[in-house]
Structure 1
Amino acid sequence: MILIWLALAAAVCVPIAAAAASPLLAWRDPVYILACFSGIVALGLMLVQPLLIAGYLPGLAAYRGRRTHLWTGGALVVAVVIHVGGLWITSPPDMIDALLFSSPTPFSPWGVIAMWAIFSVALFAALRRRLGVRPRTWRIGHTLLAIVIVVGSVVHGILIEGTMETISKAVLCALVLAATIKVMTDLKVWRRRAKLREESIARQ
């Protein structure tokens, strides 16, 4: 049990520590540095999220894992807001180009798409009971948006050549992808959807 938690801590903290030792930070102001590290923290939280919802982390009961998943999702939104807000403060023209999908940098569109998907999940989660969204609809919508978030964030991170150290960044991105695929496979999200579709067709 302790080894699993240590491995998770290493997967998240090693990239942060490696980025902290980057010589590129010497010429950056504090707001830009805060924005960069918020992005790294957000990527680390994406590794934690699927592990929580699937109950893979020892010592956390299923209910507690789901509740922690909600709080971690809120922390992810905050990290993304700080990341985007900090970059906006340091370079508004670049952020405007990114938000308008007119930036020449190839990593920008992926980050923007992932950002809007994260905000959409948060809004969906906050309003789903008020709107009367059924659990099945929530599960499918959440899953689709989660795929967009993970793919967009991983591609965004891999394409950026910045403060993150290459190997630790690649390992973290690979772990985020692997954890997401593993959870979706184990929870049989798509099989459940296909079964429900078949049952609906059979009733018609």
Structure 2
Amino acid sequence: MQKKGWRSARAPLIWVALALAIGVPIAKAAGSEQLAWRGPVYILAGFAGIVALGLVLVQPLLIGGYLPGLSAYRGRRAHHWIGGALAVAVVIHVAGLWITSPPDMIDALTFSSPTPFSPFGVTAMWAIFIVALLAALRRRLGLRLRTWRLIHVPLAIVIVAGSVVHCLLIEGTMETISKAALCALVLAATVKVMVDLQVWRRRRTLRGESIAPQ
């Protein structure tokens, strides 16, 4: 009975923890004094970037099946749609910064910006766009599951690493502790899902079973 009660109570706790992990950094950023010196377009671009980082956290949780109440099929579908939302958030982030300062964005996109965080963000951006494009064209290109994984996993690592470093190096509206906590959770979730999926594949292989998901 105790185990059953803990399992039923654990589900809402996981969702609350996820909401806090994403919501607290956004709330802290919304209370930043630096917003007083920023225009609405720049503020929109900045918060789009924060939302994008939150979506990067959700993605491994979905594909790893760590979010309760979602079947494997629904988790994969949500992973697909949130990947699209992530690409849109990045477009808003980049477009807003372009509108507010085209020269700075040109420097960033050409990897000639003096700011240390720019190349990491741009690299993560292109990796996100490549994944989104390939996901949309996967059936037309005839990409098999194994081929898709060989492409997607390295790009996902680039997205996570680039996004986290980009965020940590920026001294902006995000509060330091909540920002660091969100970045740590993104890294932890990514590492966990990769370790878990590798163990799962190894066990299935040893049993002589197919590793393709059902």
Alignment equivalent of 2:161, drawn from 139, 151, 154: 151
Return the offset for 1:20. Answer: 0.2
Deviations 1:134-174 (A, max 9, x none): 11010121100000000000000000000000000000000
Letter in 1 for 2:176: T
Do residues 66 (structure 1) and 76 (structure 2) align?
yes
Alignment partner of 2:170 out of 155, 160, 168 = 160
Within the candidate set 12, 23, 27, 2:37 is matched to 27
| Change beyond 3 A, Cα 1:162–1:118 | same
Distance 2:68 2:168 in 1: 30
- Is 1:77 paired with 2:93? no
Residue among 169, 177, 191 paired with 1:181 = 191
Report the count of equivalent residues: 193
Q: CA deviation at 1:190?
A: 11
1:42 and 2:52 equivalent?
yes
Deviation at 1:189, TM superposition (A): 7.9
Structure 2 counterpart of 1:11, from 21, 25, 31: 21
Cα deviations by residue, 1:94-115 (Å, 9 ceiling, x for unpaired) = 0000000000000000000000
Shift of 1:29: 0.5
Specify the code of the residue in structure 1 equivalent to 2:154. L
Gaps of 5+ in 1: 196-204
Cross-structure match for 1:202: none
Q: CA RMSD in A?
A: 1.3
Matched with 1:105 is: 115
CA 32–190 in structure 1, closer or farther in 2 if over 3 Å, else same = farther
133-142 or 169-178, larger mean C-alpha shift: 133-142
C-alpha distance in structure 1 between counterparts of 2:123 and 2:199, whole Å: 23
Divergent runs of 4+, >6 A: none
Match of residue 198 from structure 1: none
Question: In the aligned structure 2, how far is the partner of 1:51 from the partner of 1:18?
Answer: 24
Work out the CA distance in 2 between the residues paired with 1:186 and 1:177. Answer: 14
Q: Look up the SS of the partner of 2:171 in the other structure.
A: coil
Partners of 1:25 and 1:135 lie apart in 2 by 45
CA deviation after TM superposition for structure 1 residue 191, in Å: 6.7
State the secondary structure of the residue aligned to 1:162.
coil
